[in-house]
Amino acid sequence: MTLTDKLSSGNALLLAALALPGIAAQAETIPDTSSISVDYLHYQDSQPGLERIGVHSPAVHLLLPVAGNWLVEAGLVSDHVSGASPRYHTNVSGASHMADQRLGSDVRLTRYFGNATLSAGAAHSGENDYHSNAYSVSGSLSTEDHNTTGNLSFGVSNDKIDPVNQIVVNERRHTSEFLVGVEQVLSQRDIVKLDFTHGRGRGYFSDPYKYIDNRPRERDQNSVLLRWNHHAAQGDGVARLSYRYYRDTFGIRAHTLGGEYEQPLAGGWSLTPSLRLYTQSAADFYFDPVYDPTFGKPFPVGYDFNHPGLSSEDQRLAAFGAVTLGFKVEKQLGQGWAVHAKLERYRQQAGWRQFGDGSPGLARFDAHIWQMGLSKEW
């Protein structure tokens, strides 16, 4: 439905619960200020001849140091989703109009021990047909000079799926994630971080709102993420580069290359342009929009009603490439206040793939996202 559909939201929720502080020197130092931020995000995707899903998402996040060694973080988000979602591939005539609302919340408590941290987190996401609960524990340990830091995290999520069309009732899915990482200060201007993540999912992975969608009930995922921060020799600019490799037992292989450059300016302004390149191969059971000569769409060629097997026409499981351009503006207002605005444009095309077979029958997919936020430190 959106770039991250309902049936992926459990993984996204778990990754949020596992998330560690961003790459930065001396991550084991507790923040010396409290902060609260309020954000509003608007998302709209489209294909030629069809304006699809729109999302309006207000959110609030609180960060609060307590008693010198404790840090409390809490967040709340509400997603209002509406629009037209194709039931198979990108066929406009198969679109179904829908509206939904999701409420998500998370909380994390961290204890600081000089060169180490220990934290526990919980998150919940709920809507009329999907509920997910996630829990995590994580820790970090650094050397005395804080030049090397190791991270370790583990989390689980339990999801309940009850689609309104009652294709399935009270289906379940259990996912566990394990993350291990190391961060290294190379110089006064360079920091690198390497993370390895392994995920194991068991249960219902199919999309009940799509025709002929029958996916495996097991999915193992592995990814490696490498990040590099470089502070400019002149000025306060920071370049952030990242590369991520992903593979799973569905047969998908994906590469993501990202980069941004944050440039502070006079008067409390800062500008951050960004670019992200993505490519993936198709899932083993994905079928292109070439339909059976007898049954027509959306049935794959040779479809057998008696032995349907694994199959999906979900374009997110196809082979494609994508480009995301972004630009962020931030202004420090004084007395701890700051405001920011961010705009991103996303385009996905089968012809941009770099690995695996493509899906030439798929329509181009576009999305734009803009976000505004206000924060206060004290």
SS3 40: strand
Least trusted range by pLDDT, from 73-77, 307-311, 329-333: 307-311
The residue range of the domain holding 370 is: 6-377
Tokens of 188: 């006064």
pLDDT digits (tens, 9 = 90+) for 131-183: 999 999 999 999 998 899 999 999 999 999 998 888 999 999 999 999 999 99
pLDDT digits (tens, 9 = 90+) for 180-232: 999 999 998 999 999 999 999 999 999 988 878 999 999 999 999 999 999 98
- In the 8-state DSSP scheme, what is residue 12? H
Domain membership of residue 113 (yes or no) is yes
Domain membership of residue 1 (yes or no) is no
Whether the predicted pLDDT of 93 surpasses 60: no
Domain membership of residue 45 (yes or no) is yes
Domain membership of residue 150 (yes or no) is yes
Whether the predicted pLDDT of 5 surpasses 60: no
Q: What's 119's domain CATH number?
A: 2.40.160.40
Question: Position 260: which residue type?
Answer: E
Nearest Cα residue to 328 out of 244, 235, 238: 238
Domain membership of residue 88 (yes or no) is yes
Whether the predicted pLDDT of 73 surpasses 90: yes
Confidence bin at 22 (pLDDT 50/70/90): very low
pLDDT of amino acid 8: 44
- The residue-averaged pLDDT of 60-87 equals 90
- The residue-averaged pLDDT of 1-12 equals 41
Domain membership of residue 39 (yes or no) is yes
pLDDT digits (tens, 9 = 90+) for 268-295: 999 999 999 999 999 999 998 888 888 8
Confidence bin at 98 (pLDDT 50/70/90): confident
- The residue-averaged pLDDT of 366-371 equals 96
Confidence bin at 23 (pLDDT 50/70/90): very low
Assess contact for 17 and 122: CB atoms under 8 A. Answer: yes
- The residue-averaged pLDDT of 88-116 equals 81
Domain count, the chain: 1
Mean of per-residue pLDDT scores for the chain = 88
- The residue-averaged pLDDT of 223-242 equals 92
Distance CA 279, CA 289 (A): 20
Distance CA 346, CA 54 (A): 14
- The residue-averaged pLDDT of 21-26 equals 38
Nearest Cα residue to 102 out of 80, 124, 84: 80
SS3 10: helix
Distance CA 135, CA 120 (A): 8
- The residue-averaged pLDDT of 32-56 equals 91
pLDDT of amino acid 24: 38
- In the 8-state DSSP scheme, what is residue 16? H
Domain membership of residue 340 (yes or no) is yes
Q: Tell me the HSE value of 146 on the side-chain side, using a 13 A CA sphere.
A: 13
Least trusted range by pLDDT, from 18-22, 270-274, 370-374: 18-22
Distance CA 58, CA 77 (A): 6
- The residue-averaged pLDDT of 105-113 equals 95
At residue 161's C-alpha, the angle toward residues 157 and 162, to 5°, is 155
Distance CA 120, CA 136 (A): 6
Domain membership of residue 78 (yes or no) is yes
Q: If you average pLDDT over each of 15-19, 264-268, 326-330, which comes out highest?
A: 326-330
Nearest Cα residue to 40 out of 269, 341, 338: 341
- The residue-averaged pLDDT of 80-100 equals 71
pLDDT of amino acid 13: 46
Whether the predicted pLDDT of 310 surpasses 80: yes
